[in-house]
């Protein structure tokens, strides 16, 4: 072995996602199972710089698999973006005897990890924790399934009032500039349409909705919109609708941070547990600067550069499914 793996650090960074605690639990217990000490780093890279680090035992992760959020907390860190900040982080890492890291987060987390690993030759393995499902190299990310189910539950309730009042509802969901939550929640909730950033250059999605669907047969309608400057967001689309088609009674619901909360689904708990075990196995096998992913229900290793560089494509066939089923 090129390095002695006797103590790892675990942190969560970026936006929280349901299932992060399951990943923390699995990583901690797998390390301990293999005779490796565990240090918990609170508040992500910010905590690594400010030395918010404590020893973790197996009992520290008891009774957390069902909890949303992250027991390690999370925070943005502008200081970690600087060489000076990363130097302090590395000194704290050495002070606590950590010789590898497991980081749980999204593309920003992995970007920081890749730079940190290059500068100080630190073995780092990442777990994809983001409700957006926008990381390349994995079919799904920790938290995505739970967020999807939260959206569906909310949309089901909104449909009751939309139908009663013959209204057109624009419902905005998270995803930043990725339409995975919007597209799949639209299919699962029986929405009439979705407006996602990936299709912006191909078609006027709002005009398509009016011409092909809502105007012909619907007296109420649900449209799921991905939050994005590209789509204009639910408020922007609703305003355009009021100007171009004032005959419709338009309403907007922005689901917001409710999508990040709640107890993780069984699926998110299972993939987080599998990924946590795989992260330690990868470090033992001397892997570094990789993300643990799942493809066709099998664990895969994805280089950080691939996970964060490429735009994950939308499955175009799902757009067709939605169009067919919304007639």
Q: Which stretch of DSSP H or E encloses residue 52?
A: none
Distance of CA 165 to the CA centre of its chain: 34
Q: Angle CA(152)–CA(154)–CA(156) in degrees, nearest 5?
A: 70
Query: What does the alpha-carbon distance between residue 55 and residue 34 come to, in Å, rounded to a whole number?
Result: 16
CA distances (Å), origin 59, targets 55, 56, 175, 316? 11, 8, 34, 45
Q: Which of 107, 132, 145, 268 is catalytic?
A: 132
| Inter-residue contact 268 to 18 (CB < 8 Å) | yes
Task: Look up residue 161 and give its DSSP letter.
Answer: H
List, in order, residues 6 or more apart from 196 with CB less than 8 Å away.
179, 182, 183, 205, 226, 228, 231, 314
Helix (H) or strand (E) holding 17: none
Nearest in space to 25 (alpha carbons), one of 53, 78, 66: 66
Quote the DSSP letter at residue 313: P
Catalytic, 132? Answer yes
Residues 6+ apart with CB under 8 A from 136: 302, 306, 307, 308, 309, 310, 311, 312
196-220 burial: b if 16+ Cβ within 10 Å, else e: bbbbbeeeebbeebbeebbeeeeeb
Query: In a 10 Å sphere around its CB, with 0-12 CB exposed, 13-18 middle and 19+ buried, how is residue 301 labelled?
Result: middle
List active site positions: 132
């Amino acid at each position: 072995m090129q390095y002695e793996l006797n103590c790892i650090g675990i942190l969560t960074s970026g936006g929280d996602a349901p299932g992060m605690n399951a990943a923390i639990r699995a990583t901690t217990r797998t390390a301990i199972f293999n005779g490796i000490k565990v240090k918990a780093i609170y508040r992500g890279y910010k905590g690594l710089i400010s030395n918010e680090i404590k020893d973790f035992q197996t009992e520290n992760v008891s009774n957390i698999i069902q909890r949303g959020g992250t027991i390690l907390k999370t925070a943005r860190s502008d200081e970690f973006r600087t060489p000076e900040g990363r130097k302090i982080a590395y000194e704290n890492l050495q002070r606590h005897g950590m010789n590898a890291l497991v980081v749980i987060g999204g593309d920003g987390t992995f970007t920081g990890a890749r730079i940190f690993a290059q500068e100080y030759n630190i073995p780092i393995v990442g777990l994809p924790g983001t409700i957006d499902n926008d990381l390349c190299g994995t079919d799904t990310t920790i938290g995505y399934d739970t967020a999807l189910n939260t959206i569906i539950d909310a949309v089901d309730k909104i449909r009751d009032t939309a139908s009663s009042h013959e209204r057109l509802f624009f419902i905005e969901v998270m995803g930043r500039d990725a339409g995975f939550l919007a597209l799949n929640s639209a299919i699962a909730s029986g929405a009439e349409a979705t407006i996602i950033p990936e299709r912006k250059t191909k078609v006027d999605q709002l005009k398509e909705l009016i011409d092909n669907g809502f105007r012909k047969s619907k007296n109420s309608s649900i449209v799921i919109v991905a939050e994005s400057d590209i789509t204009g967001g639910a408020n922007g689309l609703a305003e355009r609708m009021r100007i171009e088609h004032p005959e419709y009674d338009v309403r907007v619901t922005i689901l917001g941070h409710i999508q990040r909360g709640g107890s993780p689904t069984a699926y998110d708990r299972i993939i987080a547990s599998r990924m946590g075990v795989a992260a330690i196995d990868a470090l033992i096998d001397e892997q570094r600067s990789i993300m643990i992913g799942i493809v066709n229900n099998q664990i895969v290793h994805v280089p950080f550069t691939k996970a964060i560089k490429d735009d994950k494509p939308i499955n175009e066939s799902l757009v067709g499914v939605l169009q067919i089923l919304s007639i």
